[in-house]
Structure formats: structure tokens, C-alpha cells
Amino acid sequence: MTDTQLSAEGEAEVYQSFRHFWHPVAYSSDVESLPIAVRLCDTDIVVVRLGGRVRAFADLCPHRGARLSLGWVEEDQIRCAYHGWSYDGDGICTLIPSCLDQRIPAKARLRSYLCVESGGLVWVCLEDVPQFGIPPFQEHGDSAYRVVQIPPVDWNAGAARRIENFVDLAHIPWIHDGQLGSRDRPEAPVHDLVREADNIHMWGHFSEIQSIKTDSSQLDESDPTLTSNHNWRVYMPLTVWWQQSLPGDQFFGLLVAASPVSQNVTRTFMLNFRNFALEDPDAPFCRFQMEIAEQDRQIVESQRPEELPVDLAAELHVRTADKMSLEYRRWLVELKHELSDGGSKNRLRIHSEAGNYAT
Ligand code: FES
Ligand SMILES: [Fe+2]
């Protein structure tokens, strides 16, 4: 087997391991009276609110395989559009309109998935025992904060590539020149990181352009840069919480959750939070984040391979600037080993330990 084949196999295994974690599939506010179709790890799912609680089922009626997301909600049950079978919140069929006097077969039951609302998002886990909890998002539901939902956007890239991009500090002066960083100051800021129970905590004290915050957070408008504390928590494997401390106990940040639609398609849910300018319109904050993300999208979609390589020797690294990325890749591979069933486990571990350092 060639190195390329081995690596592709490893990336596929990392992707398969994502089934064991919670991922967002929709904003809570998008799940109202109608069922909605979503896709997570190549699995078609219908998300529906029954009796006030969100549920996730395989988007497939066991009668003739029609999509349940084409149906509707009636008396807290989901009804299939094709022949009208009804299913309750546990996915059990309660009604077959074409033969009302016959016993309903026990097999007339939907495949259900773990589904929870948290932080303004609907989270689903495809396996019955999730690894790690749902990433916390304390600012959501805190009346001191304004939380803005950014419309989800799909990128043609692996989900881990998307997350690595968000915590890559060295790209900021290049891709976001004049908005967050400057090509005149290309050095990656000094930062530290530590692995905690379910996340990598990274922090630094450095200067950044404050494009969106200048007007509203009492900063000096003649100098849009501000040196401040930044904190990131990468909740494994695909959610990042980032917070910036502004003067006067003001905080600004994002929750970025990359949902793996398929191996090379990622839907990102982003929630922007601030505890200042609460009365200001949200649209400029939303527009700004979408503009920045679009700059990232063009680069991340160009990366090959589309997925983050599990082989640390497959790309070149810079010890200081890329240390977060390296720690992230190592942990992804470790999680894959823990969740996969042996097989190529040892080969991949050996293959992954040697880094390839440019400096
Ligand atoms: S396919 Fe759903 S009721 Fe027949
Ligand atoms: Fe970026």
C-alpha cells in the first residue's frame, strides 16, 4: 500500500470517527412547525419538533422509503406524505390509514438518533454513546449578551480543515489584510496552548484590527488596532469558542461549529456574541463575519487533500506558528484510534508521529 493510499484511509477513518460526537444540524429557531431535512456524515435525517421537543430520525419511512421530511406534524406526530402513516416522538408508528383495523407491526418504527437543543443549536449524535458532551456556550441565554446567528454556509472541504483554518493565527495578516491583520506585521502572535479534558485551550495577548467593533466599543477610532487577550477553546473535534476581551469588561467572540455533511462538505454554524452595543443593529456584525468567512472559504476549498492529513509528515509545519494545528491533528488521530476497531491502527500511529518541520 502506498503512502497516499494509507493516508487516504486514515482520513476516511477520522471522518468515520465523527459519528461518535455531537454536531449541530440546524439552528433551534429553524425547527418550527415543519419537519426539516438535514444531512450529517452522509446520513439523511429529518429533524422535527414533537410535543415541544426536537427529535431526529432517519429521513426514510420504513413503509416504502419515502422521505419523512416531505411530511408534516399532526397532533405531535410526524405523518408521512406518501400513505399517511404517523409516528410518535419515539418513532413508533401509531396509525396506518389504509388498514385501520389491523395490528401495526412492531417493525413499523423509525431509526432515531440522539438529539438535543443547546446554545441555540440542534445537536445530533449518530452513535448511541457520544464521546464528550455538547460544547458549552454560556453566552447564549445570558441576558448580558447579544448573540447573532450567522446564516450557515457550506464549504467544499473537510470539517477539520475548516476548524484548523479558524485557529490558524499565521493566515490572518494575509487573508484578512486590513480587516483583522496587516501584511506589514506578518509574525504570528505569541500564544500558548494546553490540552484539557475535551478541548484545546489556546490563549494570547496581541494586537488586532478591530474593524467591526471600533464604532461601538469606545475604542480610539484613529487607531483601529487593539492589544487584548484572546482565548480559544477547540472542543474536539469540530467546535471552537473564541473570545476577545475589550476594554471595560467588554467581550466579543464567536462559536464556530463545523458540521460534517459528508467527507468533503462542511456546513458551518457561527454565533457571534457581544456584551456591548446591545441596542445596535446586528446586520453589520453578521455581514462582517460572513465577509471574513468568505475570504477563508476560497482558500480552504483550494486545499488538497480536501481533508486534514492525518499523517503529520504529509505537510510542512512551523514549530511556533503551527503548534495549535499540530496538537489538533494529533488529537484527531488519537480519537480515531480510540474509536476505530484496530485494523490499520498501529500502522497509522507509526505513520503519524513523525512531523515534517520547515523550521
Ligand atoms: S412510504 Fe411512508 S407511508 Fe408509505
Ligand atoms: Fe480566517
Delineate the domains of the chain, giving CATH numbers in brackets: 35-125 (2.102.10.10), 146-339 (3.90.380.10)
CA distance linking residue 43 with residue 58, whole number of Å:
8
Whether the CB-CB separation of 192 and 206 falls below 8 Å is answered with no
- Ligand 1 binding pocket (C-beta < 6 A) is 61, 63-64, 66, 80, 82-83, 85
- Name the residue with the closest Cα to ligand 1, atom 1: 64
Look up residue 111 and give its DSSP letter. Answer: -
pTM of the model: 0.93
Instruction: Output the CA torsion 325→331→334→338 (10° steps).
Output: -140
Instruction: Tell me the three cell numbers of residue 166.
Output: 479558524
- Name the residue with the closest Cα to ligand 1, atom 3: 83
Q: What is the reported pLDDT for 209?
A: 84
Look up residue 334 and give its DSSP letter. Answer: H
Whether the CB-CB separation of 168 and 272 falls below 8 Å is answered with no
Per-residue model confidence as pLDDT tens for the chain (359 residues): 445 555 688 999 999 999 999 999 999 999 999 999 999 999 999 999 999 999 999 999 999 999 999 999 999 999 999 999 999 999 999 999 999 999 999 999 999 999 999 999 999 999 999 999 999 999 999 999 999 999 999 999 999 999 999 999 999 999 999 989 999 999 999 999 999 999 999 999 988 887 766 444 555 666 778 889 999 999 999 999 999 999 889 999 999 999 999 999 999 999 999 999 999 999 999 999 999 999 999 999 999 999 999 899 999 999 899 999 999 999 999 999 999 854 344 434 433 444 566 65
- Name the residue with the closest Cα to ligand 1, atom 4: 83
